[in-house]
Structure 1
Amino acid sequence: MKSFTLTTRRAVAGACALLALGLAGAAQAAWPDKPVTLVVPYSAGGPTDVVARLLAVPMGHSLGQTVVVENTVGAGGTIAPARVAKAKNDGYTILIHHMGMATAPALYKKLPYDPLKDFEYIGQVLDVPMTLLSRKDFPVNTFPELLDYVKKNQDKVTLANAGIGAVSQLCGMLFMHQVGVKLTTVPYKGAGPAMNDLMGGQVDLLCDQTTQTAPVIQDGKRAKVFGVTTPKRLSSMPNLPTLDEQGLKGFDVKVWHGMYAPKGTPKEVIEQLTKALNVAIKDENVKKRIAELSSDLVSPDKATPEGLRKHLEAEVARWDKVIKAAGVSAD
């Protein structure tokens, strides 16, 4: 009788253990069972926000849950990453951010997060090219003439940007670094005011995203354009040469974007998020809208955790040298 009871108890215990494992597996497989929040470091309507909202719909369809875009702005785009780094690592709070993830460590002495240690990587998303413009009455017409002019008149030339940490500032810094000049930089509170003053003739040069500059370039009357900052010409502007092919060898600046989750987010959750991201970048509506912005979605091999990790590591090292050489700090 005792033997039977013991055997029965063991069988019941074994069945309960199997049931518990089954329930745990079912619970795990149920992710996500509520909406996922995609945090954007910049205001609604800006380039990063536009991209986030484009991706949110097809990602939500893939995950079977709504992806809610939430704008968390401030401190040069560092508040949002800090928030996501401290969020619960269950996959329900994720981040989309541009190249600011790579430049922040060099710009901020007391950054409240570490881009290389405090996140899991979901994948790269897209690249937004940049273009170098001048006011319409600037006294040169070609890029070789521009290089010669800024070297001889660097104390007289003004270079606008959209503020500390803005991609326009970073592009300008790399331009000065590679040309070997120090121009007078003029920071603005946003790309719009900087562009307005360039077109109004108050500043000489501006390097900014095609999402901002394409209408001005296509108009052809309000500013001069000297080239695109990527190694290859843009399919949307095939007649616009690159800075690289015009003599500034190796010049390559694009506003790349990536998606991140808090450190410790389960591997299987990251896999589902990466799968959803890849579904989104293959979506026909997303591809059409991104092309209209003169931007490029990344190849599938880059839209992976490893692809983003390698790119971020290389970009952190690259911009650390440029920013320190320029002596710029956001603190």
Structure 2
Amino acid sequence: MKRFMLPALAGVVFFGASSAYAQTYPTKPITMIVPFAAGGPTDTVARLLAQSMGAKLKQQILVENVGGAGGTIGAARAAKATPDGYTIFLHHIGHSTAPALYRKLSYNAIDSFDPIGLVTDVPMTLVARKDFPAKDFKELLAYVKANNTKVTYANAGLGSASHLCGMLFMSAIATDLTTVPYKGTGPAMNDLLGGQVDFMCDQTTNTTSQIKGGKIKVYGVTTKKRVPSMPDVPTLNEAGLPGFEVAVWHGMYAPKGTPKPVIDSLVGALQVALKDPTVKQRFADLGTEPVEEKRATPEALRAHLKADIDRWSPIISKAGVYAD
């Protein structure tokens, strides 16, 4: 009898401890790891969420920028963190492309994390320096095809959203362009504003204010529908690239093994934040919007991540783009 009762008793003790922990969680500030430099689009999303989620949890959420290697350095740190709910991790679509882009990863994009939920789908924009000669997308297409060795396409580095969008664009127009990789979106945008590079594809969270300020030209958005904050900008599908679509989704994770009651608390805080009028307005100003509540769940993020890994792996493999 004793042999059979002990495991059951252990389970009761563990459940009781887990429940008690969840009831007191959090008792100290939480760190949200963002695997990119401060000031970029993912950092902007993170800081909006951190403020609202922190208010719900009654603890400060500190954003820690751990950039480098297309987000994999920050991801590795998050994967190795203590699974106690005091480290969470916000990443974008790059989390689904890293397994194909990098030959060696110290973590598994799916198995090393407990998903919390999807956050937002951010459209991208095809933009150029202010004095780029093409007036519209039709002229842009003709120009880059005729001058492919001279035209420079900036991106924020291997595995970045702008890199992925650029690969799809070059594949769609069957033209290879001269790419100029940067260490982040900020430096790439600075050189675009300064006229050192010709054009790039980047998230609306990073381009909307520059477009509205007339500092750069815009040729189209990469989603099926136009962006409400820029209703006059056509989709690339409308402009002449049928079926072209890419959005930069963001997801929130915790290290694998984080207690479920703690995950539930974080899910609840995330869902409250996504309904926060201030967050919704700021997202709208940046050309995006929060996901529906049913998508801000661990199950939805897990399924979305798996589907995107399956989508991007053959595209990256065909392009022959890898990093050690």
Fold similarity call, TM over 0.5:
yes
Q: CA deviation at 1:264?
A: 2.0
CA distance in 2, matches of 1:146, 1:73: 33
Q: CA deviation at 1:45?
A: 2.8
- 1:94 matched to 2:93? The reply is no
Pick one of 213, 216, 220 that aligns with 1:227: 220
Structure 1 SS opposite 2:144: helix
Pick one of 113, 133, 143 that aligns with 2:137: 143
Q: What pairs with 1:105-184 in structure 2 (closer than 5 Å)?
A: 105-184=99-178
Pick one of 251, 276, 282 that aligns with 1:283: 276
- The count of aligned residue pairs is 314
- 1:264 matched to 2:260? The reply is no
* 1:233-274 Cα deviation digits (max 9, x unpaired): 111100100001223122222221110011122222211111
Instruction: Read off the aligned partner of 1:58 and give its amino acid letter.
Output: S
Pick one of 235, 249, 253 that aligns with 1:242: 235
Kept in 2, the 8 Å contact 1:120–1:261? The answer is yes
Q: 1:266 to 1:26 in 2, by over 3 A?
A: closer
Pick one of 288, 301, 313 that aligns with 1:295: 288
Kept in 1, the 8 Å contact 2:40–2:185? The answer is no
Kept in 2, the 8 Å contact 1:124–1:302? The answer is yes
Q: 1:138 to 1:54 in 2, by over 3 A?
A: closer
CA distance in 1, matches of 2:15, 2:313: 49
CA distance in 2, matches of 1:130, 1:21: 46
* 1:11-44 Cα deviation digits (max 9, x unpaired): xxxxx99x96896343443333333221111233
Kept in 2, the 8 Å contact 1:177–1:322? The answer is no
5+ long unaligned stretches in structure 1 = 1-15
- 1:36 matched to 2:42? The reply is no
Aligned match of 1:318: 311
CA distance in 2, matches of 1:277, 1:167: 23
Aligned match of 1:308: 301
Q: CA deviation at 1:277?
A: 0.3
Q: CA deviation at 1:192?
A: 3.5
CA distance in 2, matches of 1:159, 1:131: 13
Kept in 2, the 8 Å contact 1:165–1:330? The answer is no
Q: CA deviation at 1:198?
A: 3.1
CA distance in 1, matches of 2:311, 2:271: 27
CA distance in 2, matches of 1:22, 1:200: 58
Pick one of 50, 53, 77 that aligns with 1:59: 53
CA distance in 1, matches of 2:127, 2:22: 52
Q: 1:192 to 1:70 in 2, by over 3 A?
A: closer
Structure 2 SS opposite 1:70: strand
* 1:179-206 Cα deviation digits (max 9, x unpaired): 2221111122333433343344433321
CA distance in 2, matches of 1:21, 1:79: 33
CA distance in 2, matches of 1:265, 1:135: 46
Q: 1:60 to 1:244 in 2, by over 3 A?
A: same
Instruction: Read off the aligned partner of 2:318 and give its amino acid letter.
Output: A
Q: After alignment, is 22-31 or 247-256 more displaced? A: 22-31
CA distance in 2, matches of 1:36, 1:69: 9
* 1:284-304 Cα deviation digits (max 9, x unpaired): 111122222222211111111
CA distance in 2, matches of 1:36, 1:173: 36
CA distance in 2, matches of 1:80, 1:22: 31
CA distance in 1, matches of 2:108, 2:176: 30
CA distance in 1, matches of 2:85, 2:177: 44
Percent identity of equivalent pairs: 60
TM-score (norm 1): 0.86
